[in-house]
Amino acid sequence: MESVPPPEDVARLCRYSNGVLRWSRYPSGEEYGFRAAACTGALYHIELYVACADRKDLPAGLYHYAAHDHALRPLRQGDVRGALVEASGGFEPLASAPLVIVLTSTFWRNSWKYQARAYRHAFWDGGVILANLLALASADGQAAAVVMGFVDGAVNRLVGVDGVREAAVALVAVGEGAAPPQTPGPLPELHLPTERFSPREVRYPEIEEAHRASSFVSGDEAAAWRAHAQAAVGEAPGPLSDEPIVEVIRRRRSARRFADRSITRSQLVTALAAARAPIPGDSFGDDLVDPFVIVNAVEGLEPGAYRHDLTLIRPGDFRRTAGELALGQPLGAEAAANVYFLSDLDAVFERFGERGYRVAQMAGGVAGGRLELAATAAGLGATGLTFFDDEVTRFFEPAAAGRQVMYLAALGWHSRSQLL
């Protein structure tokens, strides 16, 4: 399939959200690319598709962004943004955006290792990519809005995926002021060649059932859902630091060891503020995920368990506990602080219905991604970790009663010889 060099603004968004930024060579001689955003197991199952209005530097159409060679490959000619607007039930920021990015997850790319838990990873990893995208758009002075309410089948058909092995998980409207696109007529099916690397594939019913149960079948359903949720579109937060966001993203690494050194209270407060900033979009609020913290080594704070505002829940040395909660991973014990993003899923389901599970998981991913960027901007290391769900809630009870963990990020001074 022919490739098209992406225009500068599109290239920046794609490369620094989901592009390959560096390569590593294994002793076998095999090269492995590491992307701009962290991903569970470095398995990179999130894909980007770009729909745009006609531009001088890029014809209107639908394109797939190929991370391995940083190129766009045209899938459909002509302006198809109207199909996405229709699928969203007429969401206005989508209708006025000259550029729309569709995020999909190829589940098997992650589930071969993590099994059914890969469904959560679709939103954790998608959310970390969105954290980069939103920061990049904000730095460029562009409006951006994350769209979680859309007709799944329509978006999947548009980008040529089956909705089972690969499925759309979010849309991002980038820019504003474009004339509302016309709804295109019936679009032909895309029959795209797929190169398989696995001799066989295991399908996990839990993934398919969860996705099906939270899917929309009409634009009216998506619009009614959005109206019931009553979420303000909101604006993206300002810059993390004076350092250009591209440089922050370039420097970001997933820490694999932390140094035995305290961070400052100011560094932790700044990271938490970045994580709790509003997510511009159709279905988010500042109450979706609430950070809880195990402080191991923060200047000016005694070790213990804290709320997001650093109200002490329980004092104590919980390094060992933090490691145990992180599936026994040493990073949890080594970190200066562990931040657990918890959500009241009962309240989420009441407000958002079954679709709320996706929204809460995505909000956790965005919050975690923002925290990791803020840590990097402050010169710290950070990484996402998985965890024992119920044990985390029990540890923070009664303050966390009724809540479940959406994401865990650990931060501290990193050991530079142990980075990915």
Joined tokens for residue 145: 């809005």
Q: Do residues 185 and 269 share a domain?
A: no
Q: Do residues 172 and 215 share a domain?
A: yes
Q: Which of 170, 86, 180, 92 has its CA nearest to residue 366?
A: 170
Joined tokens for residue 61: 């159409």
Measured CA distances, 124 to 10, 31, 96, 206, 365 (Å): 23, 26, 28, 17, 4
Measured CA distances, 233 to 4, 91, 123, 145, 406 (Å): 33, 10, 19, 7, 22
Q: Is residue 239 over pLDDT 90?
A: no
pLDDT in tens, 253-262: 999 999 999 9
Residue that is last in its domain, among 199, 229, 259: 229
pLDDT in tens, 142-168: 999 999 999 999 999 999 999 999 999
Residue that is last in its domain, among 167, 194, 229: 229
List, in order, residues 6 or more apart from 34 with CB less than 8 Å away. Answer: 20, 21, 22, 23, 24, 42, 420
Q: Which of 242, 220, 274, 233 has its CA nearest to residue 89?
A: 220
Query: Is residue 1 one of the residues assigned to a domain?
Result: no
Q: What is the pLDDT of residue 298?
A: 98
Q: What is the pLDDT of residue 345?
A: 96
**Pairing outcome for strands 263-264 and 298-299:** parallel
Q: Do residues 359 and 212 share a domain?
A: no
> Percent of the chain beyond pLDDT 90?
84
Q: Is residue 418 over pLDDT 70?
A: no
- Rounded to an integer, the average pLDDT of 117-141 is 97
Query: Contact, 263 vs 413, CB < 8 A?
Result: yes
> What CATH number should be reported for the domain holding residue 311?
3.40.109.10
Q: Is residue 31 over pLDDT 90?
A: no
Q: Do residues 22 and 156 share a domain?
A: yes
Count how many domains the chain has.
2
Query: Is residue 99 one of the residues assigned to a domain?
Result: yes
**Ranked by mean pLDDT, which of 43-57, 188-202, 275-289 comes out on top?**
43-57
Average pLDDT score over the chain: 94
Q: Do residues 208 and 255 share a domain?
A: no
Q: Is residue 232 over pLDDT 70?
A: no
Q: Is residue 282 over pLDDT 80?
A: yes
pLDDT in tens, 352-387: 999 999 999 999 999 999 999 999 999 999 999 999
Q: Do residues 257 and 151 share a domain?
A: no
Q: Is residue 420 over pLDDT 60?
A: no
Q: What is the pLDDT of residue 195?
A: 80
193 pLDDT tier (thresholds 50, 70, 90):
confident
Q: Is residue 233 over pLDDT 80?
A: no
Query: Is residue 234 one of the residues assigned to a domain?
Result: no
Triad 89, 94, 99: Cα angle to 5°: 140
Residue that is last in its domain, among 203, 229, 255: 229
Q: What is the pLDDT of residue 1?
A: 62
- Please indicate whether residue 397 or residue 185 has the higher confidence score (pLDDT): 397
Q: Do residues 224 and 252 share a domain?
A: no
Structural domain boundaries enclosing 47: 8-229
Query: Is residue 238 one of the residues assigned to a domain?
Result: no
Residue 411 CA to residue 383 CA, distance in Å, equals 7
Mark 395-405 as b/e (b = at least 16 C-beta within 10 Å).
bbeeebeebbb
Q: Do residues 257 and 208 share a domain?
A: no
122 pLDDT tier (thresholds 50, 70, 90):
very high
Q: Which of 389, 384, 405 has its CA nearest to residue 290?
A: 405
Joined tokens for residue 82: 């109207």
Query: Contact, 93 vs 335, CB < 8 A?
Result: no
β-sheet bridge partners, residue 306: 293, 312
Q: Do residues 173 and 249 share a domain?
A: no
Angle between helices 118-139 and 8-18 (to 10 degrees): 140
Query: Contact, 290 vs 240, CB < 8 A?
Result: no
Query: Is residue 235 one of the residues assigned to a domain?
Result: no
Q: Do residues 78 and 124 share a domain?
A: yes
Q: Is residue 28 over pLDDT 90?
A: no
Query: Is residue 236 one of the residues assigned to a domain?
Result: no
- Rounded to an integer, the average pLDDT of 316-341 is 97
* Amino acid making up residue 148: M
pLDDT in tens, 67-118: 989 999 999 999 999 999 999 999 999 999 999 999 999 999 999 999 999 9
Provide the edge-to-edge strand list for the sheet that holds 61-66. 71-77, 61-66, 46-52, 99-106, 166-174, 144-147
Query: Is residue 102 one of the residues assigned to a domain?
Result: yes
Q: Do residues 205 and 292 share a domain?
A: no
- 3-class SS string, the chain: CCCECCCHHHHHHHHHHHCEEEEEECCCCCEEEEECCCCHHHCCCEEEEEEECCCCCCCCEEEEEECCCCEEEEEEECCCHHHHHHHCCCCHHHHCCCEEEEEEEECHHHHHHHHHHHHHHHHHHHHHHHHHHHHHHHHCCCCEEEECCCEHHHHHHHHCCCCCCEEEEEEEEECCCCCCCCCCCCCCCCCCCCCCCCCCCCCCHHHHHHHHHCCECCHHHHHHHHHHHCCCCCCCCCCCCCCCHHHHHHHCCEECCECCCCEEHHHHHHHHHHHCCCCCECCCCCCCCEEEEEECCEECECCEEEECCCCEEEECCCHHHHHHHCCCCHHHHHCCEEEEEEECHHHHHHHHHHHHHHHHHHHHHHHHHHHHHHHHHCCCEEEEECCCHHHHHHHHCCCCCCCEEEEEEEEECECHHHEC
417 pLDDT tier (thresholds 50, 70, 90):
low
Q: Do residues 28 and 113 share a domain?
A: yes
